[in-house]
Amino acid sequence: MLPVQIISDLIGMPTEQVGELRDWSHALTKTLDPLCSPDDRAAAMAARSEMTAYIEDVYDRKRTRPDDGILSSLIGAEDDGERLSRDEVLINMLLLYIAGHETTTNLIGNGVIELLRHPDQLDRLRADPDLDANTVEEVLRYNSPVQITRRISREDVEVAEVEIPAGSVVLPAGAAANRDPRKWGDTADRFLVDRAGANEHVLVRRTTPPLPRFRPRSSRGSDRTAAADAAISSARARRGNQLRAAHGASRRRSAAGNRLSRAT
């Protein structure tokens, strides 16, 4: 419940229905799993409707009684006649709320599990509490709360000698790159709280470039990575269709210059 409380405070989300919000959010994020059952998908769609209705209510309340939270700022930006439409504000409210706590909740859970599974590492951390930040990075590397991301190819590209036609949905598995022995050596599969360079993992863009570094066909190389291997098992679908059906969400704008667009 702590991450939910923190993100709610940070962005200014009311907490009177925090239990339901957390349940809706959890149901929704199950659809990020490539193997989402029909029941989970139906539950996610129901949760989406309920959560959207709640967020719309929050939107209306904050519109009439703004506070100094991020949600009010988003609405204010719209009032200033700037970029954000009502729908854009609503989807960003949802995105911030869900992205801001599902990841951190699972990071804490994964960290506790790995320390309990590796008592020697727990002892190491207890002996040197200054390793706390590095331990968090190692949890992000070893057992990340986000295992895959999504991209849609905007043009034909080649990754690790596999051609990906324009319009394909690909699932780059950063979690595989985070265990690639070519990067992490023969300790790639070990959980080490004092690992040097633990923060060089992928999947959190704070310190690392976007993953993977797709290159146009003309610059093919031989450094096939585990992430690329995983990407090859990607689903292929015409642009957006399958993804929208699976996740009931719309594509966001892609960053300029990206050869593959992000999708949620």
8 A C-beta contact, residue 179 and residue 188: yes
Residue with tokens 């925090």: 18
Residue linked to tokens 């000698």: 161
The span from the CA of 243 to the CA of 236, in Å, is: 10
Query: What backbone phi and psi angles, to 5 degrees, belong to 13?
Result: -90, 125
Spatial contact of 171 and 235, defined as CB atoms under 8 Å apart: yes
Determine the number of helices (DSSP H) and then strands (DSSP E) in the chain.
Answer: 11, 5
Binds ligand HEM (CB under 6 A): choice among 84, 122, 146, 162: 146
Sheet with 151-153, edge to edge strand ranges: 169-170, 151-153, 260-262
CB of 210 to ligand HEM, least distance (A): 6
Q: Which stretch binds ligand HEM (CB under 6 A): 16-24, 32-40, 43-51, 139-147?
A: 139-147
148 contacts ligand HEM (rule: CB under 6 A): no
What is the x/- site pattern for ligand HEM, positions 101-130, by CB under 6 A? --xx--x-----------------------
Stretch that binds ligand HEM, among 40-48, 77-85, 98-106, 185-193 (CB under 6 A): 98-106
Select from 35-43, 96-104, 221-229, 235-243 the region that touches ligand HEM (CB under 6 A).
96-104
**Is residue 244 packed enough to be buried (19+ CB in 10 Å), middle (13-18) or exposed (0-12)?**
middle
- Binding-residue pattern over the window 5 to 34 for ligand HEM, x denoting contact by CB under 6 A: --x---------------------------
Nearer to ligand HEM, 46 or 95 (CB): 95
Which residues of this protein are in contact with ligand HEM, per CB under 6 A?
A: 7, 95-96, 99-100, 103-104, 107, 144-146, 149, 203-204, 210, 252, 262
